[in-house]
Amino acid sequence: MSAANTKTIPAITEFPLFQCLNENELRLLEDMAEYRVKSKFSYIYLPDEASTNVFFLAKGTVKIGTHSTDGKEVIKSLIHPTAMFGELGVIGESKRQDFAQALREEVHIYAIKVEDLKRLMRTNFQLCDKIMALLGNRLMNAESKLESLIFKDARTRIIEFIKDSVSKSGRRIGYEMLLKHSLTHQDIANITCTSRQTVTLVLNELRKSDLIYFNRGKILIRDMAKLA
């Protein structure tokens, strides 16, 4: 990595998940981790590939998704820096069920073999607890999304996605919140299980009501409390 890149890309030992490791375990972690750079829109893994690695995102955004029987893309989750993904091999997945793909910028990741990570988990129970908690959170998010699809209309799902994204990754500017993202309207549709036309319609309605302003790669929320 260049000197410029090292200022913005955290070392694997700096990820919050690994703050519970001691010095010897951190050295082992450094030896285990393979640093990779993937170009924009490239795939980190595809369905049916062996689930031999767990990945940790250092820079960029990754989408986790699948395709329906009619070929429609469904985005299950978005991965942001310092998050873990591709972790189901830890609990027995042998082949990938989903794909992981970079969005509109190159991504920097660390890959750790499943067996190496499990070895660390066996020696550090706090790390084991943290990873199990992350897996449990993934399950709860999946159940929450299913309930949203059953009980909420398209407009509500789109608005809740915006609000959730802002709460996780937004930046306050005075009384407003700014969300920078790498998503197209089709991506938002694939996340919320709506159509691109519906996403465009809802965003335009919100802009007309002066609740948000948006352009390519940015959404500005005027007042989070009024966005409903």
| Domain extent at residue 172 | 154-221
Q: Are residues 96 and 18 in the same domain?
A: yes
Q: Are residues 107 and 39 in the same domain?
A: yes
Q: Would residue 228 count as lying in a domain?
A: no
CATH number of the domain residue 185 falls in: 1.10.10.10
Q: Are residues 141 and 52 in the same domain?
A: yes
Length of the chain: 228
In the prediction, which pLDDT does 1 show?
Answer: 46
pLDDT above 50: residue 3: no
How far apart, in Å, are the Cα atoms of 165 and each of 17, 79, 183, 195, 228?
Answer: 21, 11, 11, 19, 14
Q: Are residues 164 and 147 in the same domain?
A: no
Q: Are residues 174 and 143 in the same domain?
A: no
Q: Would residue 77 count as lying in a domain?
A: yes
Q: Rounded mean pLDDT of 6-10?
A: 73
pLDDT above 60: residue 27: yes
Global confidence as pTM = 0.86
Residue where one domain finishes, among candidates 136, 151, 166: 151
Structure-token pair, residue 216: 């390519």
Q: Are residues 118 and 179 in the same domain?
A: no
- At residue 110, the 3 state secondary structure works out as strand
List pLDDT tens digits, range 38-52.
999 999 999 999 999
CATH number of the domain residue 134 falls in: 2.60.120.10
Q: Based on the structure, what is the number of domains in the chain?
A: 2
Residue where one domain finishes, among candidates 151, 175, 193: 151
Residue where one domain finishes, among candidates 151, 177, 206: 151
pLDDT band at 8 (very low <50, low <70, confident <90, very high): confident
List pLDDT tens digits, range 138-196.
999 899 989 999 999 999 999 999 999 998 889 999 889 999 998 999 999 999 999 99
Q: Would residue 226 count as lying in a domain?
A: no
List pLDDT tens digits, range 91-130.
999 999 999 999 989 999 999 999 999 999 999 999 999 9
Q: Are residues 136 and 24 in the same domain?
A: yes
Q: Are residues 159 and 62 in the same domain?
A: no
Q: Are residues 124 and 158 in the same domain?
A: no
In the prediction, which pLDDT does 171 show?
Answer: 92
List pLDDT tens digits, range 50-86.
999 999 999 999 999 999 888 899 999 999 999 999 9
Q: Would residue 227 count as lying in a domain?
A: no
Q: Are residues 102 and 207 in the same domain?
A: no
pLDDT above 60: residue 4: no
